Amino acid sequence: MKKSPLPAQAPDIRPGQSIDLLKELHILTRDGKLNQDSRRKLKQVYHLYQFIEPLLTDTKLLVDHGAGKSYLGFILYDLFFKDKETGDIVGIETRSELVERSRELATRLDFPRMRFLACTVEDSLTSSELPETVDVVTALHACNTATDDAIRFALTRHARHIVLVPCCQAEVAASLRAKKNESLGKTPLSELWRHPIHTRELGSHLTNVLRCLLLESHGYDITVTELVGWEHSMKNELIIASKNTHNGGRPRKNARERAAAILREFNLDDLAARFIYD
C-alpha cells in the first residue's frame, strides 16, 4: 500500500506515522492539515503513548478490551508495533459492526498483526482464540462497568500490565443514591454524598479506589495519575497496574480487608462481588 506523504504543514507529527490513520482518527483534516483542536488531540495521544510505551518492551500480545472503534489499538500499532518483527494487538468489542469496520481499516492500512474479536465479556474470559496469558490489557474510556470487565479479563488472563482510563462510573453512585436515607441514619459519613453532585463525584472516586485495591489484592503495583489537563476532559484518571516483581508477586496484605471496610462504611456491601474476588 502506498503511504501518503507527510504534510509539510504538520511538523507536530512524528516521522513514519500513517497519515491515512491520522485522517481516519480526525486528527488530520482531509487535506492533511492540523487545526488547533486536532493539534490538542494529537498532544493527548502522544501523552497517553508516553505512559504506555515503557510497558510494551517484549510484549507479544496486547489486548484492547471494549475497543469500540479501536483507535487506541491503531495508534499503538502505528507508533510501536509497526516497525517491530513481533507483537500483536487484539481488539475485543461486542458490536460486530465496529469489529468489521476495524478489520477493514487494518487491511487498508496494512497493519497485518492487528485482529479483532466480536464477542461478549463472558466469552472473552474463555475464548480459545486468546492465549491463557497476555502481556498488556488496555481499556480506554470504558464506560461504567466495562472497566471492571476489562479488569476481570486481565486478571483471568494473567496480564503483566493493565492500563485503564475509566469513564462514566454510575453503578456505585446509583447504589449510594438508592440507600441514601438508610445511610443518613447509620453514619455521619453519609454527609459526603447527601447532595446529588457529591453523590456522583464520590461514587466515581470510590469506584476507582476500589478498583485499585482489587488490583493490589492480586499482586499489582498501582500508579494513578492525570491523563490530560482538566481543561480538556473531566474523565481524566489514568490507572496503570503492573504485576509486582520485588516481592514475588505477592498481593498487598491488607488490600482486600481495606476494600471490605470501605464498602461496609459506605453501605455498599451489595457491591462486594464486583470489587472483592479471587
Give 217-266 pLDDT, tens digit per residue: 999 999 999 886 544 445 679 999 999 987 777 898 899 999 999 999 99
Q: How far apart are CA 37 and CA 18, in angstroms?
A: 19
**Per residue in 163-207, pLDDT tens?**
999 988 899 999 999 999 999 999 999 999 999 999 999 999 999
pLDDT at 11 over 60: no
**Per residue in 111-132, pLDDT tens?**
999 999 999 989 999 999 999 9
Distances (CA, A) of 11 to 26, 35, 71, 249: 17, 12, 22, 44
| Mean per-residue pLDDT over the chain, rounded | 90
Query: If one looks up domain 46-275 in CATH, what number appears?
Result: 3.40.50.150
pLDDT at 18: 94
Show Cβ contacts of residue 36 under 8 Å, excluding neighbours closer than 6 positions: none
Show Cβ contacts of residue 234 under 8 Å, excluding neighbours closer than 6 positions: none
| 117 touches 102 (CB < 8 A) | no
Grid cell digits, residue 108: 487498508
Q: How far apart are CA 265 and CA 253, in angstroms?
A: 20
Question: What is the domain partition of the chain in residue ranges?
Answer: 46-275
pLDDT at 72 over 90: yes
What share of the chain in percent tops pLDDT 70?
93
pLDDT at 167: 84
